[in-house]
Amino acid sequence: MKQNISLIIDNHKVVVPEGTTILDAAKSIGIVIPTLCHMNLKGTCADNHPASCRVCVVEVKGRRNLAPACSTACTEGMEVKTSSIRVIRARKTVIELMLSDHPNECLTCPKSGKCELQAVTQHLAINETPYAGELSLRKKEMTASIVRNMDKCIYCRRCETMCNVYQTVGALGAVGRGFNTTIAPSFNRNLKDTDCTYCGQCVAVCPVGALTERTYTDQLIDDLENPEKTVIVQTAPAVRVALGEEFGNAPGSIVTGKLVAALKDLGFDYVFDTDFSADATIMEEGSELLERLTKFLKGDKSVPIPLMTSCCPAWVNFYEHNFPDLLQYPSTARSPQQMFGAIAKNYWAEKMNIPREKLVVVSVMPCLAKKFECQRPEFATNGNPDVDYSITTRELATLIRRSNINFETLPHMEFDNPLGESTGAAAIFGSTGGVLEAALRTAYELHTGKPLPKIDFTEVRGIDSLRTATIDFDGFALNVAIAYGLGNARKLMEEIRAGKCKYHVIEIMACPGGCIGGGGQPLHHGDFEIIKARQKAIYEEDKNMPLRKSHENKSIIEMYEKYFGKPLSEKAHALLHTHYSDKTIKY
Amino acid sequence: MKISSIEDLKKIRERASVHLKPREQSDHQDSSATCGLKKGTPKIQILTCGGTGCKASQSHLIADNFKKLIADNNLEGKVEVITTGCFGFCEKGPIVKIIPDNTFYTKVKPEDTEEIFTTHIIGGKRVNRLLYVDPKRKTTVSDSKHMDFYRKQVRIALRNCGLIDPEDIVEYIARDGYFALADCLLNRSPKAVIDEIKKSGLRGRGGGGFPTGLKWEIASKNQSKEKYVVCNADEGDPGAFMDRSIMEGDPNSIVEAMAICGYAIGANHGLVYIRAEYPLAVERLKIAIKQARELGLLGKKILGTSFSFDINIRYGAGAFVCGEETALIHSMEGRRGEPTLKPPFPAESGYNGKPTNVNNVETFANVPIIINKGADWFASIGSDRSKGTKVFALAGKINNVGLIEVPMGTTLREVIFDIGGGIKGGKQFKAVQTGGPSGGCLTEKHLDTPIDFDTLTAAGSMMGSGGMIVMDEDNCMVSVARFYLDFIVGESCGKCTPCRIGNKRMLEILDKIIAGNGTMQDLEKLKTLAGVIKDTALCGLGQTSPNPVLSTLSNFWDEYVEHVRDKKCRAKQCKALLTYVINPEKCIGCHACAMGCPAGAIEGVPRKPHAIIFSKCIKCGMCMSRCKFKAVSVV
């Protein structure tokens, strides 16, 4: 039992549990101390507290120097001043120093308006930069997903925490010493030459414009303006529960109808839904699970169990780079984005009689790794990719604003058919546990031939980063595990490698809370409550759907009847499945 | 052979003391009567310094030459060469000492060995030309006891340096070595050991001055199956070599002290974090550890007790910040060498997350003798709140450069003028920099300040690890501040904003001032930045990094103002602020200066006074060095 501690902050008495930081204690009485490096996604291991930016310094009576509020624990009787002259001067000087080694290109910076350095600068009313001097020259790099402009880095090291502690990828770390320190892959290599999975969590937490997504909006506008081309769009389940935040809606607002309307206003010829292909994913992955389980239960030990989900492109990159010996475990089903692309450019294009080269498939994703995924050579035919490019929720919001579309007044519109029809099972793909639950709904009914007694598998839901459950699968105790964060994935993979894994199915997502916390989503600025609100919305969306099992999707049923035959057919294998290869980086 | 009881230890001591006694006795003796084989001296020992400094001046060849002479003359049983650790008087090295008459030869070269051997060792007469000449009295001094350099010193941490062969554990045992460990293991409880150290008043010699006993006590109270004792041997201050000399001259004292600490806090693992640039210290430590293991003084069940302890060495790459204990621990763990916030202190969560006690080399070197002689004895030396002695690396514009050890409370004046022999070349004393890059510059008015942890901090500097650099009138204090800041900027780990960017900006401002472009506003900026860095930097190194600037700003403000407002450097060090002029009254028009000027900046016809064209002058000083009539001067 933690004891309570009482202290005085800015002449207010505060009582907090032992171990509370000055920052949190002040927050509890409405005093917001500015921070920059501090970030704690409470509930995950993404806790960054290097206490290195020194913006949150406060005066503690009796202490020789100023104390960083973010990582100084309250003690009994402590007297804290959060805005004395000494504190303000120090805070201002620290920011002035940061600005003295910053390009100060706010007018053209993609982060402008959302930049935390900009916000603190304004908060402290800093109007000049008195300490001009040499700029530390750091590297710029552009990959398919991520743009690094390290001149803007303020060295908060949130990205390092996400990459090393949370994802255990280890692509980013501090390189060099002193003034020329930079955050980069070891030996200042390029990101593309590392084990980077392009999960984009570094981008999601970067307080400034040092790490941003690679945008494809200009290319999109060119295509939309091109009368020769048919441009269609798919949007991922997590986009509709987050986009509203960009327009001032509360976190967790569901804006599906407005999203469709906005995409139509932007000039897309057809507005489709990744949820459709998520249902297709369940048909394939669910069938694969059943196939493997059936063989396994018959005693075939050569069947790779557990089956692991393969929807998350960062996760795919992770196992190809780190576990080349375990590539038989993940499902061979392509991700919903890529299934959609394959279906659109084959089944639908044939149906609509549109030549492949004249069809542009765009995806709106909460994700940066999707940008990389759609450029993988195995997802292209004669150099023409199934999905031409992917934009993020944030990019879409920018595009909507730039196109003078008033989001508030948009009507609610419906997706086009047939690739816009979907079920609640697809909707929950956006949350951790969703893919597994959707697969269970379908696999159970296909396996038993009986309707589910209860659609909601609440035992696999939740926001903890590693969850396990045992499901009564018509008499068979099915052990499942759900994890987000590649660090957790690594633990599970190591269990498999050691032959100690007791699970039959495992769902992995790279980002906090699943796709709802993706690297392309509206910035959460370290507030995990936002991600929780999005999760709530996801399950709300599912509950409101008339159909909630993928195999009941009429357009899916029709597509299998007319085109693929049945799940795991030869044609389905060719278009809806993929293969993995050893991508170990040799240093 | 394993030592399994105190009796075994005593036997070794007894056997070796025969060998060591002449050295110990002669140390207290006047060297009035010289020894020599012809005079009937039965046995002579030749001590040669094996420290890094003297080795760099070929002291190993001196030892080799002596050994060869001994062999050639078949005197193996009678004359013996012993390579010791540092004698401290590095200015006069290489040192050769003759036992039993205690003759102290200075600046010996390998080619001098034959003369020493024939004249002194055999003939019994001193080689006077190699004796020390007292700079004040201009007389030769033949033994260290009568040298001002040694007179005021009290050697506790350095007690065995320059006396024993550091590569022979037996010589250490002969000096009561490992008796303190035996005493602790056999007769005292861990708590009693900690109490003894607490009572002694020993404070950390690495810079912080934290009470050592208290540190041990905190570590002892944190329960864990695994604990670590770490010796911080990452001596990083420029010009400091206290710890190196102790490790080179008396490595076993560190090994023994670490084992005592391990017993006291309940740790079974010791780690020495040492910079790889100290190959000789590493080598000697390795030998000491190996010999201690062979004798069972390290390893399982030491001296038949249930206590086990062993030591391993970890190498540092020489980053200054790795002397900070959290950074040091991270570096040992294979992570980036940068500090993290305290708490948690290493005593709670240190190496691999286990309770860890980190002490510096010199601190450890004091431990065995405190146990042997008692806390009261130690506490009787030194000042009120700083007990014992402190080792300093005395350097700069001083006559006697070297390693010294003085009781706490000795004044700066005694150190600089008595031990150090005053300022070189009879120049004027200007400042003394203590505490390394994190310390500050003290002036004339501080000379009578007794040196201890608190007085130095109060004066605006700090004890630091013990660097002491003396400056004279030719030192420009702005340039001195710049020198230290440049070091800090190069060594900053880059983690926190104030140190990473703030120190860089201060350096840029100092550069601007030195280049003659400074403004009074720049001085204000310096003050603000220095104050904020001190107030906000993350680690101790960052917090103290502005000290050289702050202390020179407060003690030499006029000099800063001269640089900025009058564009003058009184020490004539800042090139941009100098003007070379030719005095027409002294110039005879020999044209030598014009011939030598690489910039063609001197005009004048032969036999008529010349003049410097200021716009062309690059201030190289060539004219000044060429002028035989002292007509060129700098203003």
Question: Which of A50, A66, A177 faces B492 most closely, judged by CB atoms?
Answer: A177
pLDDT for the residue numbered B460: 84
| Residue B498: closest C-alpha in chain A | A94
User: How far is it, in rounded angstroms, from Cα B304 to Cα A497?
Assistant: 45
Q: Which of B472, B501, B525 is the last residue of a domain?
A: B472
Boundary residue ending a domain (B542, B566, B590): B566
Query: Within a domain: residue B159?
Result: no
Could you tell me if A75 and A6 are in contact, meaning their C-beta atoms sit under 8 angstroms apart?
Answer: no
Q: Which residues have C-beta within 8 Å of that of residue A468, sequence separation ≥ 6?
A: A479, A480, A481, A482, A503
The total of structural domains in chain B comes to 5
Least confident of A196-205, A423-432, B138-147, B313-322: B138-147
CB under 8 Å to A442, separation ≥6 — which residues?
A282, A283, A286, A425, A549, A550, A551
What is the average per-residue pLDDT within A298-323? 96
Q: Quote the mean pLDDT of chain B.
A: 93
Residue at B504 is within a domain: yes
* DSSP assigned state of A523: P
B554-557 long-range CB contacts below 8 Å, 24 or more apart?
A: B554/B460, B555/B431, B555/B441, B555/B442, B555/B443, B555/B460, B555/B477, B556/B431, B556/B441, B556/B443, B556/B477, B556/B478
Residues A329 and A446 in one domain: yes
For chain B, say whether A128 makes contact (Cβ under 8 Å). Answer: no
Same domain, B124 and B228: no
Pairing of strands B228-233, B269-275: parallel
Residues of A in contact with B495 (CB under 8 A): 50, 52, 155, 174, 181
The DSSP bridge partners found for residue B382 are: B387
**CATH code for the domain in which residue A468 is found:** 3.40.950.10
pLDDT for B524 equals 97
Question: Is residue A339's pLDDT more than 70?
Answer: yes
Taking the whole predicted model, whether its pTM rises above 0.90 is answered as yes
pLDDT digits (tens, 9 = 90+) for B334-380: 999 999 998 899 999 999 999 999 999 999 999 999 999 999 999 99
DSSP string, B61-123: HHHHHHHHHHHHTT-TTTEEEEEES--S-GGGPSPEEEETTTEEE-S--GGGHHHIIIIIIIT
Asked whether the beta carbons of residue B340 and residue A50 sit closer than 8 angstroms, the reply is yes
In a domain, A585, yes or no: no
Alpha-carbon span B264 to B359, nearest angstrom: 14
Structural tokens at position B600: 């063609």
Q: Is the pLDDT of residue B34 over 90?
A: no
Give the model's confidence band at A473: pLDDT under 50 very low, under 70 low, under 90 confident, else very high: confident
Q: What is the mean pLDDT of residues B163-187?
A: 96
Quote the pLDDT of residue B29. 66
Do A439 and A566 fall into the same domain?
Answer: yes
- Residue B444 domain-assigned? yes
pLDDT-above-90 percentage for chain B: 83
Q: How far apart are CA A353 and CA A358, in angstroms?
A: 11
Q: Side by side, which strands form the sheet with A359-365?
A: A270-273, A230-235, A359-365, A389-392
Those residues whose C-beta lies under 8 Å from the C-beta of residue B18, and which sit 6 or more positions away, are none
Task: For residue A412, report the phi and psi dihedrals to the nearest 5 degrees.
Answer: -90, 120
**Res. B19: pLDDT tops 90:** no
The domain spanning residue A148 has which CATH number? 3.30.70.20
Mean pLDDT of chain A: 96
Question: Considering only CB atoms, which chain A residues are within 8 Å of B336?
Answer: 173-174
Q: According to the model, what pLDDT value does residue B48 have?
A: 95
Note whether residue B161 is domain-resident.
no
Domain that holds residue A181: 140-213
Residues B465 and B482 in one domain: no
Tell me, what's the pLDDT at B318? 84
- Round to whole Å and give the CA distance between A162 and A517: 13
If asked whether residues B456 and B493 sit together in one domain, one would say no
Question: Are B505 and A131 an interchain contact pair (Cβ–Cβ within 8 Å)?
Answer: yes
Whether B604 is in a domain gets the answer yes
- The pLDDT of residue B146: 86
A311 near A576, Cβ under 8 Å? Answer: no
- Asked if residue A38 belongs to a domain, the reply is yes
pLDDT at A82 over 70: yes
Give the model's confidence band at B39: pLDDT under 50 very low, under 70 low, under 90 confident, else very high. Answer: confident
In a domain, B170, yes or no: no
Q: CA-to-CA distance for A120 and B103, rounded, in angstroms?
A: 70
Instruction: Tell me the pLDDT tens digit for each residue of A270-289.
Output: 999 999 999 999 999 999 99
Element (H, E) at B314: strand B310-316
Per-residue pLDDT averaged across B100-122, rounded? 94
Report, as residue numbers or ranges, the catalytic residues of A: 285, 288, 311, 331, 370, 373, 378, 515
Q: What is the pLDDT of residue A292?
A: 95
pLDDT value of position B100: 87
The burial of B56, by beta-carbon neighbours within 10 Å (0-12 exposed, 13-18 middle, 19 or more buried), is given as exposed
Cα three-residue angle A173-A177-A182, rounded to 5 degrees: 40
Verify that B205 and B225 share a domain, yes or no.
yes
The model's confidence at residue B239, banded by pLDDT at 50, 70 and 90, is confident
- Higher pLDDT residue, A456 or A138? A456
d(CA A580, CA A465): 26
- The answer to whether residue A131 is domain-embedded is no
| Counts of helices then strands in chain B (DSSP H, E) | 26, 19
Task: Dig out the tokens for A385 from the structure.
Answer: 């990719």
Phi and psi, residue B534, nearest 5°: -60, -35
What tens digit of pLDDT does each residue of B411-454 get? 999 999 999 999 999 899 999 999 888 888 999 999 999 999 99
Q: What are phi and psi of A471, to 5 degrees?
A: -105, 135
Query: Which of these, A204, A188, A83, A202, lies nearest to A141 by C-alpha position?
Result: A188
Nearest to A97 among B493, B498, B535 (CB): B498
Count the domains in chain A.
Answer: 4
CATH of the domain at B501: 1.20.1440.230
Cα dihedral sign, B598-B600-B605-B609: negative
Radius of gyration of chain B (CA): 27
Q: Is residue B508 part of a domain?
A: yes
Kindly list the residues from chain B whose CB atom is less than 8 angstroms away from the CB atom of residue A176.
494
pLDDT at B355: 97
Question: If you average pLDDT over residues A483-494, what whole number do you get?
Answer: 97
Which of chain A's residues have a Cβ under 8 Å away from the Cβ of B491? 177-178
Is residue B189 a contact partner of residue B231, using CB atoms and an 8 Å limit? no
Q: Is residue A501 assigned to a domain?
A: yes
Here the tokens at position A499 are 């032959």
Return the pLDDT at B227.
97
Higher pLDDT, A374 or B620: A374
Query: What are the pLDDT digits (tens) for A427-460?
Result: 999 999 999 999 999 999 998 899 998 999 999 9
Query: Which residue in A200, A263, A198 sits closest to A236, CA to CA?
Result: A263
- Collapsing DSSP to helix, strand or coil, B157 comes out as coil
pLDDT of residue A158: 96
B116 within 8 A of B108, measured Cβ to Cβ = yes
A388 & A343 share domain = yes
Q: Which residues pair with B88 in a beta bridge?
A: none
In a domain, B494, yes or no: yes
Question: Per-residue confidence at B145, pLDDT binned at 50, 70, 90?
Answer: confident
Looking at the fold, whether A447 and A549 belong to one and the same domain comes out as yes
Name the minimum distance, in Å, from the CA of A497 to any CA of chain B.
Answer: 26
Same structural domain, A32 and A150: no
Query: In the structure, what pLDDT confidence band is assigned to residue B30 with cuts at 50, 70 and 90?
Result: low
| pLDDT classification of A1: cutoffs 50, 70, 90 | low
Amino acid symbol at B410: T
Residue A116 confidence (pLDDT): 97
* Confidence grade of residue A43 (pLDDT, cut at 50, 70, 90): confident
| B269 has pLDDT over 90 | yes
Segments forming the whole domain that contains residue B250:
177-379
Contact B43, B128 (CB under 8 A): no
Exposed, middle or buried: residue A4 (CB in 10 Å: 0-12, 13-18, 19+)?
exposed
Residues B321 and B403 both lie in one domain: no
* B210 and B332 part of one domain: yes
Question: Which residue in B525, B529, B536 is closest to A54 by CB distance?
Answer: B536
Q: Please give the average per-residue pLDDT across B118-123, as a whole number.
A: 93
Region B525-531: mean pLDDT is 97
